Structure 1
Amino acid sequence: MTDPHDWSRHSPYSDPGKHAALLGMVPTGIPNLSAVARNVIVHYGGFGLELPTSTRGDINSRWLSIMLEVDQQRHAKPLAEPREPTERIQGCCRDHTLFCVGVLRQHGIPARSLVGFAGYHRPDYKNDHVIVQTYDTETQRWLRFDPEIAEPTELLPTPYDIPADADAPFRTAAEVWKGCRTGSLDPNTFGGGPESEFGGLWYIHNYVLMQLAHRYADELLLWDGWGAMTLPGGPDDATLNLIDDIADQLIAVESAVPPADASSMDALLRKRYDDDNRLHPGTSVTQYSPYGDPPLTVPISPGPAHGQSPAPGDWDTSRDRRSKSLSAPGVLQSRSW
């Protein structure tokens, strides 16, 4: 993946499988697309809604084809037709983003997910978050938008074209890591919430790895663990240096103007991602749980078989995209926005 149009092809995660026609019916204009994403998926945190415990397992659906299968089992109608909030798929920002990325790719539009921290949910804290990037061929830039935000707010006046400058309301995980390491940012103001134990430098460290994976089409769950991910109290000095270097590369490739200038940098970073066992997931991940359920080892290579939408846990593992094993435990993530 070095050219913007490389991101117009589906990953195993965004591939709709037998439900491709459903995505083809969804509009690609950002406001309408975002509205459909919110119609299909409700945040598992509820935020004022009492969601059924019987569907809380939705959050681990992982693959867009599975999400669409679950939706159609409940509704059997086009994705834009209204669904009751309590009957929607339970998910989080990663799932709203993956849905939008899948729709855009289905229409041949380059799109990818961007992992970082948002400062527009509350004024004094930056929550872990995932938003959409889509390539605008007219301006030749990657445009950022948040499908979870329906209307402009004081903290986010342009939810469908989020700035990418140094004072932006959304900062990538790599940018936050760099700021914390240089002392310009306080790591204790980034994470799952000011009252949560899931935050600080170790948490940001894991999100740099998550940002890297999502850039190269491994759109993993935010509670997946693999490779160099660490636990509270980490990382060690060697891993600090590794993440320093990866963050520098991510910042450089993300800020290249025009994006075409990122091609050579993307090629080098993608190769490093593929070659280093610490950076990418292998044939499985450790799947933690925001509900506190016991961790599971979950096979992920390469995803549901094409043309099928198996039940969660029934993944096709016949093809190994990398043939590399999980080398270290990950860590539970808390509430992702």
Structure 2
Amino acid sequence: MDYTRQTRFSDPRAHAPLFDALPDDPGGIGEVIRNIVVHYRASGIPFPPDRLTEIDSRWADRLLDADRRRFDTPLAEPRPPEQRIVGCCRDFTLLTVSALRHKGIPARSRIGFADYLDPHWHYDHVVAEYWDGARWVATDTQIDVADVRLAPGGLRPASQVWSSYRRGEIDVNQFGVDPGLDDVRGDWFVRNYVITELAHRHGDELLLWDLWGGMSRELTGDLTLIDEIADLLQSADAGDTTAERKLAEHYATDPRLHPGTHVTCASPVAPESQADLRREPTT
């Protein structure tokens, strides 16, 4: 996959000129993205319901629509936190990846669980990863952490967490959205995130609460398939081109892995609904 090319989710469309004035380096881009996005929970700001729906803006151009409704200034011009785009780690990452690709820098999003946000909990998290000419470098735009290790102590990709769980090495119930939320953690949650990790790797940068194919809210289905995909993801990360090719074949042909025309959006701020992925983003 050519990670310099925009996907249907990362494409800023009519808003692409806004990225022209951004810095050319990942750190500078991250600083601008933090100026325009605010986390819907971690900020502590009591956003009204109509603003919270911005977290379900699946496409980059719709996220930028939200900024344009309130501002007509360059993205680097300061925005008060309460007026920024309401999003989550996935949205900080999607806009970072979008801007990096706009600058011709190969970039993608990585799905996993962060060991560096809380010493007692492994929060689900998304970071951007870019190619610096020699290696892939992960960067956490949301909280400004550069060169995040994709390993214990940093961000553990969902594939790593799944394999560790299957080997009996971890308490998988310590991996999830929040220690106070019992219904979004554990084995089924990590299984779903392996599929999400695969989707993001192949340019379907869906919402963290989108469900499709082999996903469910309990641990059912063919776990050997998830074992295989997790192993291939880790091998591909290590540079195995054969594993990368097998992942692409699995993703293209297995309906348990790739989304079709619709996904179930189990939004944390709105009633569950069916989302049509064929709908073109507004411009």
* TM-score bracket for the superposition, by shorter chain length: over 0.9
1:216 maps to: 202
Q: Counterpart of 2:165 in 1: which secondary structure? A: helix
CA separation of 1:303 and 1:216: change in aligned 2, threshold 3 A: farther
* Closer/same/farther in 2, CA of residues 133 and 12 from structure 1, 3 Å limit: same
- Alpha-carbon distance in 1 for matches of 2:259, 2:233: 18
Q: Deviations over 1:68-126 (max 9, x none)?
A: 12211210111111111111111000000000000000011100000000011110110
Equivalent-residue separation in structure 2 for 1:149 and 1:31 (angstroms): 12
Residues 12 and 302, structure 1, Cα contact 8 Å, conserved in 2? no
**Which residue does 2:107 correspond to in 1?**
111
The letter for the 1-side match of 2:180 is E
Counterpart CA distance in 1 for 2:124 and 2:104 is 29
Asked if 1:205 is matched to 2:191, the reply is: yes
Q: What secondary structure sits across from 1:114 in the alignment? A: strand
Contact 1:94 1:129 in 2 (8 A): yes
Aligned sequence identity (%): 41
CA-to-aligned-CA distance 1:20-71 (integer Å, 9 cap, x gap): 1101221132322112111111101143323233311101111011111221
In the superposition, relative to structure 1, how do residues 266 and 302 fare at CA in structure 2: closer, same or farther (>3 Å)? Answer: farther
Task: Tell me the TM-score normalized by structure 2.
Answer: 0.96
Letter of the structure 2 residue corresponding to residue 267 of structure 1: R
What's the Cα RMSD here?
1.4
Match of 1:147 among 135, 141, 145: 141
Asked if residue 273 in structure 1 is aligned to residue 269 in structure 2, the reply is no
**Shift in CA distance, 251/46, structure 1 to aligned 2, threshold 3 Å:** closer
Residue identity matched to 1:272: H
Paired positions, count? 282
> Is 1:301 matched with 2:278?
yes
Structure 2 residue identity aligned to 1:189 = Q
Which consecutive unaligned segments of at least 5 residues does structure 2 have?
none
2:237 aligns with 254
- TM-score, normalising length from structure 1? 0.81
1:13 and 1:303 in contact (8 A); partners too: no
Distance in 2 of aligned mates of 1:164 and 1:184: 18
Q: Which residue of 2 aligns with 1:176?
A: 161
CA–CA separation in structure 2 for the residues paired with 1:89 and 1:9: 24
Q: 1:300-331: CA deviations, max 9, x gaps?
A: 13742xxx52xxxxxxxxxxxxxxxxxxxxxx
Q: Describe how 1:183-202 pairs up with structure 2 within 5 A.
A: 183-197=168-182, 198-202=184-188
Q: Match of 1:219, as an amino acid? A: E
Structure 2 match to 1:334: none
* Deviation for aligned residue 1:265: 2.5
- 1:24 and 1:266 map into 2 onto residues whose CA distance is 32
Match of 1:53 in 2: 49
2:81 corresponds in structure 1 to 85
One-letter code aligned to 1:209: I
Map of 1:284 onto structure 2: 262
Q: Residue in 1 aligned with 2:96?
A: 100
In the alignment, does 2:2 pair up with 1:12? no
Aligned match for 2:212, one of 226, 237, 242? 226
Partners of 1:99 and 1:85 lie apart in 2 by 17
Choose which of 40, 63, 68 in structure 2 pairs with 1:67. 63
Q: Secondary structure at the match of 2:74?
A: coil
**1:240 to 2:226 alignment:** no
Residue 164 of structure 1 deviates from its aligned partner by: 3.2
Q: Distance in 2 between matches of 1:185 and 1:89?
A: 36
CA separation in 2, counterparts of 1:53 and 1:35?
A: 27
* 1:264 equivalent among 224, 242, 253: 242
Q: Kindly indicate whether the alpha-carbon contact (under 8 Å) linking 1:63 and 1:303 is maintained by their aligned counterparts in 2.
A: no
Secondary structure of the 2:86 match is strand
3-state SS of the aligned residue for 1:161?
A: strand
Residue 163 of structure 2 aligns with an amino acid whose one-letter code is K
Deviation at 1:168, TM superposition (A): 3.4
